[in-house]
Amino acid sequence: MAYKSPIEDTQFILENLLPPHNKLDNSTIYAVLEEAGKLADNFLAPLNHFGDKNNPILRQDHEVETPKGFSNAFSEIAKGGWIGVASDANYEGMGLPLRMGAAINEYWHGANMSFSLCSLLTQGLIDAFTLIGTEEEKKLYLPKFNSGIWTGTMNLTENQSGTDLATIRTKAEYDGKNWRIRGQKIYITYGEHDMSENIIHLVLARAEGAPEGIKGISTFIVPKFLKNKDGKYTKRNDLKCVSIEHKMGIKASPTAVMLYGEEEGAIGYMLGEEGRGIEYMFIMMNRARFDVGLQGMAISEAARQKALEYANMRIQGTPINREKGTPIIGHGDIKRLLLSMRSLTEAMRALILVSSEIMERSHNGDTNASLQEAFLIPIIKGWSTELAQEITSNGVQIHGGMGFIEETGAAQYMRDARILPIYEGTNAIQANDFMFRKTLRDNGEAAKLFLTQMNLDCNDNPQITKMIKLTSSTLDYILNNRDDQELLSCICFDYLMGFGYLVGGWLMHKAKIKANIKLSNNPKNEIFLKSKIVSADFYNLHILPRISTHLEIVKNGANIVKLTKDSYI
């Protein structure tokens, strides 16, 4: 059995944990999920292992060939209108709420993360143009992106500028008519490929005469093909892919080194205002980080399914109190691993989808929702991608020796997942962001609001209320030590993880309540609902205790890190 989009759980969460949306009834939700699931299962999943083995090729003419079948699969997704699911209907998007975009994105990434990065990046550009673009730019670019005829990339990183973008050296000079871009960018996902007619690069560069540091950076639209005299986009711009990276995972996704302006300078158009490049990137960054957290959840689900299938088939040793011939799923420790994979993945899915609804409100100008969104983003990115490491690794573990052999595909999930805590802001950045911007900047207000809400929702769950109290007192500790930033930076990771597990527990508790109500009405999906309750109970007993470990580290573990001299490390 290959990957199957987890439609039942998506549907359960959308219907039970999110407030309804006036554009969506349950049958529409189901029809959309069902069809997207079919595409993901039938088109993308079969290409996942193949792409890992047959990587993109950079040709002598600087064009990149993606693995066989990718181009066809991309046009199938694009033709079906699936790229612009949640984008503005005035520019040929589908105009569905973000929750549907998020739900469907899980299936793409679960089926084939390497492949789906191309549409993910393109969706990022759709967001950028929707927020910042002029009317003219929107009319030109958005329909092309929504239909997948053009795709997009983000060009931030340079050799010396990774996390610190203030040191960017790529230059933009105005020649009286156009901006000319010159410089080299690295780690450009789908920077060159053969799946679309044109590739639009968003490039961070320093305009001539601009100040040093982040205030001097602007964003430029740099298309691979420019408009020719005949109105067609066939005129090659002065940019090329000079290399693609050999990577540990997501191998089917071409990660390009892009060279701009080797000859006359690549023609670029400034997006938005000069000097606001970093600010724009941060607007988009929220969505990008959300998407990376979503990838963590999606690949965890895929790893879980594979491990479950193997555990149901592999016979090795007779499990205690079971009859001979029982597969390894009967062993207590294998059951434990599988349950933890399931319950963590479901908690992540709940977090992602519940947050997508908060983001819908935030985009509509609800300032309260914006605060909540800002608070949740580092948890979504940091916590989910850390869990993805554990879950994909457990997926390998359940396969035993076969997990270490590439043939099973379990190892690929683990390698693919490894990029997630790194890109779009490492998890160290997430943890610092969570501590300093999201918690201390508003004196812990947002954190306290969440704790109050959780307390209300979980007053009948002693395990969670205990952890809420513990988190509360930890928050006090953090607020009391707010002046010692070095100290707090040493334990911000544990604070993030502790809070993440708590949010997960809260949502699993809510899911359990709903599942119980449904079960009392003689439902058709009894097995699913009972599994949901098991997942929530397992979370309570096996996952929640992790919170106290993390929070104990927050309270007691900072000084040993802070005071240790580098030479003792």
Q: Which span (170-178, 363-371, 525-533, 534-542) binds another protein, by CB under 8 A?
A: 525-533
Determine, following the binding rule CB under 8 A, whether residue 526 of this chain makes contact with another protein: yes
The amino acid occupying position 360 is E
The 95-124 site mask, x for binding another protein (CB under 8 A), equals -x----------------------------
- Tokens matching residue 81: 């209108």
Radius of gyration of the chain (CA): 24
Residue 419 DSSP one-character state: T
Shortest separation between residue 28's beta carbon and another protein, angstroms: 6
Q: Does 28 bind another protein (CB under 8 A)?
A: yes
Listed in sequence order, the DSSP H helices in 246-383 are: 277-313, 332-363, 367-378
* 35 near another protein, rule: CB under 8 A: yes
Of 94, 369, 428, 533, the one binding another protein by CB under 8 A = 94
Phi (first) and psi of residue 230, to 5 degrees: -80, 10
* Encoded tokens for 47: 């290409």
Work out which of 525, 537, 555, 562 binds another protein, going by CB under 8 A: 525
Does 524 engage in binding with another protein (CB under 8 A)? yes
Stretch that binds another protein, among 32-40, 47-55, 209-217, 545-553 (CB under 8 A): 32-40
Q: Could you please report the per-residue DSSP string of 106-148?
A: HHHHHH-HHHHHHHHHHHHHHHHHHHH--HHHHHHHHHHHHTT
List the structure tokens of 52: 């890992």
Residue span binding another protein (CB under 8 A) among the ranges 29-37, 52-60, 187-195, 272-280: 29-37
**CB–CB of 127/137 below 8 Å?**
no
Q: Which residue has 């005299």 as its token pair?
A: 229
Q: Are 235 and 227 in contact (CB under 8 A)?
A: yes
Given the complex with another protein, which of 87 and 474 has the nearer CB atom?
87
Using CA atoms, how far residue 487 sits from 16, 18, 386, 401, 541, in Å, is: 41, 38, 22, 42, 31
Among 18, 85, 256, 553, binds another protein (CB under 8 A): 85
CB of 81 or CB of 275, closer to another protein: 81
**Complex with another protein: residue 35 or 208, whichever CB lies closer:** 35
Out of 38, 215, 232, 235, the residue judged to bind another protein by CB under 8 A: 38
Catalytic status, residue 424: yes
Q: Which of 20, 26, 31, 563 binds another protein (CB under 8 A)?
A: 31
Nearest distance, CB of residue 4 and another protein, angstroms: 8
Taking the least distance from each CB to another protein, the nearer of 308 and 451 is 308
Nearer to another protein, 146 or 286 (CB): 146
Give the span between the Cα atoms of 514 and 346, in whole angstroms.
14
According to DSSP, residue 212 is labeled S
Site string for another protein, 477-516 (x = CB under 8 A): ----------------------------------------
Stretch that binds another protein, among 113-121, 204-212, 315-323, 523-531 (CB under 8 A): 523-531
Of 94 and 479, which CB lies nearer to another protein in the complex structure? 94
Selection from 99, 25, 11, 12 nearest residue 514 by Cα: 12
Cα–Cα–Cα angle for 274, 278, 282, nearest 5°? Answer: 130
Minimum CB distance to another protein smaller for 101 or for 403? 101
Selected from 76, 197, 279, 442, the binder of another protein by CB under 8 A is 76
Query: Which window, 80-88, 266-274, 307-315, 390-398, contacts another protein (CB under 8 A)?
Result: 80-88
| Min CB(36)–another protein separation in Å | 8
Q: Does 39 bind another protein (CB under 8 A)?
A: yes
d(CA 302, CA 52): 15
Identify the H or E element spanning 104. Answer: helix 98-111
Residue identified by tokens 């980080």 is: 289
Site for another protein in 209-238 (CB under 8 A): none
Annotated catalytic residue, options 424, 445, 486, 526? 424
Rule CB under 8 A: say whether 46 interacts with another protein.
no
Residue 328 CB contacts under 8 Å (≥ 6 apart), including other chains: 311, 314, 315, 316, 317, 319, 334, 398
Stretch that binds another protein, among 23-31, 330-338, 357-365, 386-394 (CB under 8 A): 23-31
Tokens, residue 129: 């143009």
32 binds another protein (CB under 8 A): yes
- Give, for 155, the enclosing helix (H) or strand (E): strand 150-155
Closer CB to another protein, 166 or 527, in the complex: 527
- CB nearer to another protein: pick between 73 and 181: 73
Residues 6 or more apart in contact with residue 12 via CB below 8 angstroms: 511, 514, 515, 528, 532
Q: Which residue's CB is nearer to another protein, number 94 or number 369?
A: 94
Q: Which stretch binds another protein (CB under 8 A): 34-42, 188-196, 364-372, 559-567?
A: 34-42
| 367 part of the interface to another protein, by CB under 8 A | no
The residue within the footprint of another protein, chosen from 19, 22, 27, 209 (CB under 8 A), is: 27
Q: Does 12 bind another protein (CB under 8 A)?
A: no
First to last CA, the chain: 47
Among 46, 80, 162, 327, binds another protein (CB under 8 A): 80
200 Cβ contact list (under 8 Å, min separation 6): 125, 141, 145, 150, 151, 152, 153, 221, 222, 223, 224
- Alpha-carbon gap, residue 517 to 532, rounded angstroms: 12
- Minimum CB distance to another protein, residue 328 (Å): 21
Which pair of tokens denotes residue 336? 């434990």
Q: Shortest Cβ distance from residue 26 to another protein (Å)?
A: 11
The burial of 471, by beta-carbon neighbours within 10 Å (0-12 exposed, 13-18 middle, 19 or more buried), is given as buried
CA distance 244 to 249: 13
Cβ closest to another protein, residue 476 vs residue 526: 526
Binding site for another protein (CB under 8 A): 27-28, 30-32, 35, 38-39, 76, 79-82, 85, 94, 96, 524-527
* Active site positions, annotated: 424
